Amino acid sequence: MSAPIAVPDFSGEPGDAVQSAEFLKKFRALMNIGNITNDARMNSSFENYLKYNSPADEWFKEQDTSQMTWKALEKAFLERFPPIQKAKKSESELERELCELRLPVDELGKKERYAGEEVWSHVAFAEKALSLARQAKINTSSNSIWKVRDELPEIIRQKVKETYTTWDDFCAAIKDIDTSHIRDGVRKHQKEKEEKERVESMIASLRQAQQQQQRRQPPPAVPLSPMSNASNAMQSMNIRNTRTVPATTTNAAPRVTTANTNPFANSGGGQGNLFRQPPPPITSADRDALQLSLAYYPLQPNTADGNRAWLGQLRDWRTKHGEGPITAATGFPLRPGGAAAGSGECFGCGMVGHRRDSGMCTTEPINNRERTFRTICGRILRAAPAAQVNLVEDERDEFSWLGDRALATTAAQGNGEGSSA
C-alpha cells in the first residue's frame, strides 16, 4: 500500500520551497484519489491547502470561484504564481563536467552505491561518464574521449584505448576491466607510494640534521696543558749555534755560521705528532647523518642517465653548501661507477683492489672533495660492498670549482665504460 500524498500549505511567498507547479501536481493527484472531479468541490478544496493570510490566500479570496471552472482557476493560479524555471546546464557545460570527472587511484578496487546498487568504483565511474555524455549529446561520437582517458589511473589506461569511436564503447571497455588486474595494480601502486614516502622522509630528516649542524656552536677551546705550554715556548725559541771569526784585516775571511741542528730552532722541526689531538669518537648521530647523506646523493651508474643525475647532484650540493667543508651531514656526490663509499676503496681513484700509494690506479684521480668524503665514510662505515668503476661525461667549465680531472678529460676520450686509456 502506497503512502498517502501529503500536500503542503502553499503560501506564494518569495523564496517559498513549495513551487506552484509542484503544489498543483500533488493537489490533482489527491483529488483523483478521492474521485473528486466536480469544479465547485475542487475549487473549495483548493482553498483548504492555501496558507492562511498568505499571498496565495489573499489572491484566492479575490477570485469569483462560484462561476469559475477548475481549469480556469488553475490557469489564473499559475499566472499569479508562475513556477520558477530551474537552471539547466548547457551541452558545453555538461561536456566540461565530463572532462573534469576523475577516478582516484586510491578508490580503485572498492565498491560504492550507484543508482541504488553496489558496484565497483570503476563501473560507477563509467556509468557517470556515459550519463554525462548522453546529456551532452556526444555519446555517439568520440568527442573528448582522449581527455578523459588521459586523466584515468595508469592501471585503467593499460586496458583502455583512446581510439574508441563512441562513448558507449569507451565506457563499456572500462566496465569490462578484470578486477584481478585492478587489485594487482593497486598493490603495486601502494608499494611505490610507500617507498616514495620513505625516501621523502629520509630527505626531510637529512635536511633537518644539516640545519641542526649549522646551528651548533663551535666547541669550547681545550685548555692548554703544561706540556703544551712547554711545546709553544720551545717552538718560539730562536736558538742559534753560531761561530764567528773576528776580522783582523780588511781582507778577513767572511763570517761563518754552522747549520742549525736544533729540532726546535726552525719553524717546522720538532713538532711531529707529539701534541696532535686525537680525532673525536664516532657517535650514532654521525652514522645517522652519513646514512641520510648517502641516501640523498646515491651513487649513480656510469650511463648517460647516471652521468646527468650526478651533474645535477653536484649543482645541488654547490647551491646548498658553496665552498663549505665536507662533513658526514653535508655528504658529497660520488663519481658515477665508482666503488661504494666505505668499501675499502682507494682514496686516489675511488676503486677497490689496491691502496692509494700502491701506484695501481688506472683511472683519473678523484677530486679532493670526494676524497675527503670517502675518507669520512671509511672511518664511519668501515666496510661496504663495492660497485663498478666507470667515468663520466664532460661539462666543461661549469664544474671547474671541483678540480675533477675526469670532468676535464672525458670530452676528448668519450663516455665509454671501463677504465680510461
DSSP 136-204: TT-TTS-TTHHHHHHTS-HHHHTT--S--SSHHHHHHHHHTS-HHHHHHHHHHHHHHHHHHHHHHHHHH
| Average pLDDT estimate for 85-95 | 84
The predicted pLDDT at position 4 comes to 66
Q: Has residue 265 been placed in a domain? A: no
Question: Where is the domain boundary, 181, 201, 216?
Answer: 181
Question: Where is the domain boundary, 80, 99, 114?
Answer: 80
Q: Has residue 303 been placed in a domain? A: yes
**Contacts (Cβ under 8 Å, ≥6 apart) of 363:** 349, 350, 351, 389, 391, 406, 419, 420
- Identity of the amino acid at 273: N
- The string of pLDDT tens digits covering residues 145-155 is 999 999 999 99
The predicted pLDDT at position 202 comes to 87
Q: Has residue 272 been placed in a domain? A: no
The predicted pLDDT at position 7 comes to 83
Average pLDDT, the chain: 80
| Average pLDDT estimate for 33-48 | 88
Nearest to 182 by CA among 76, 120, 109: 109
Nearest to 264 by CA among 243, 241, 242: 241
The predicted pLDDT at position 246 comes to 47
Q: Has residue 134 been placed in a domain? A: yes
Beta-bridged to residue 50, according to DSSP, are 10
Answer whether 364's CB lies under 8 Å from 349's CB. Answer: yes
Number of domains, the chain: 3
pLDDT at 254 over 50: no
Distance, in Å, from the CA atom of 45 to the CA atom of 10, rounded to the nearest integer, reads 13
- The string of pLDDT tens digits covering residues 192-211 is 989 889 898 989 888 888 88
Domain co-membership, 63 together with 173: no
Q: How confident is the model at residue 416 (pLDDT cuts 50, 70, 90)?
A: very low
* DSSP 3-state of 257: strand
Domain containing residue 176: 91-181
pLDDT at 235 over 90: no
Domain co-membership, 55 together with 173: no
Domain co-membership, 288 together with 385: yes
Domain co-membership, 289 together with 409: yes
Distance, in Å, from the CA atom of 317 to the CA atom of 324, rounded to the nearest integer, reads 10
The predicted pLDDT at position 281 comes to 84
- List Cβ<8 Å contacts ≥24 apart for 303-306: 303/336, 304/393, 304/415, 306/336, 306/337
pLDDT at 100 over 70: yes
The predicted pLDDT at position 127 comes to 93
- Identity of the amino acid at 420: S
The predicted pLDDT at position 252 comes to 46
Domain co-membership, 66 together with 151: no
pLDDT at 243 over 70: no
Q: How confident is the model at residue 215 (pLDDT cuts 50, 70, 90)?
A: confident
Q: 11: which DSSP letter? A: -
Cell numbers for 45: 478544496
The predicted pLDDT at position 272 comes to 52
CA dihedral 204, 208, 213, 216 (to 10 degrees): 180
Q: Has residue 300 been placed in a domain? A: yes
Q: What is the pTM of this model?
A: 0.39
| Average pLDDT estimate for 104-117 | 89
The predicted pLDDT at position 347 comes to 85
How many C-beta atoms surround the C-beta of residue 164 within 10 A? 17
Domain co-membership, 58 together with 169: no
Lowest-confidence segment of 45-49, 166-170, 262-266, 341-345 by average pLDDT: 262-266
How many C-beta atoms surround the C-beta of residue 361 within 10 A? 17
Lowest-confidence segment of 3-17, 136-150, 306-320, 398-412 by average pLDDT: 398-412
Domain co-membership, 52 together with 145: no
Domain co-membership, 26 together with 142: no
Domain co-membership, 311 together with 382: yes
pLDDT at 233 over 70: no
Domain co-membership, 46 together with 104: no
The predicted pLDDT at position 225 comes to 54
Domain co-membership, 146 together with 107: yes
Query: What would you report as the CA-atom Rg of the chain, rounded to the nearest whole angstrom?
Result: 44
| Residue 165 Cα distances to 104, 300, 319, 366, angstroms | 25, 46, 52, 60
Angle at 148 between CA 142 and CA 154, to 5 degrees: 125
The predicted pLDDT at position 328 comes to 86
- Identity of the amino acid at 64: D
Q: 395: which DSSP letter? A: -
The predicted pLDDT at position 418 comes to 43
Question: Where is the domain boundary, 181, 203, 226?
Answer: 181
Domain co-membership, 316 together with 407: yes
Q: Which helix (H) or strand (E) holds 271?
A: none
Cell numbers for 104: 582516484
Q: Has residue 155 been placed in a domain? A: yes
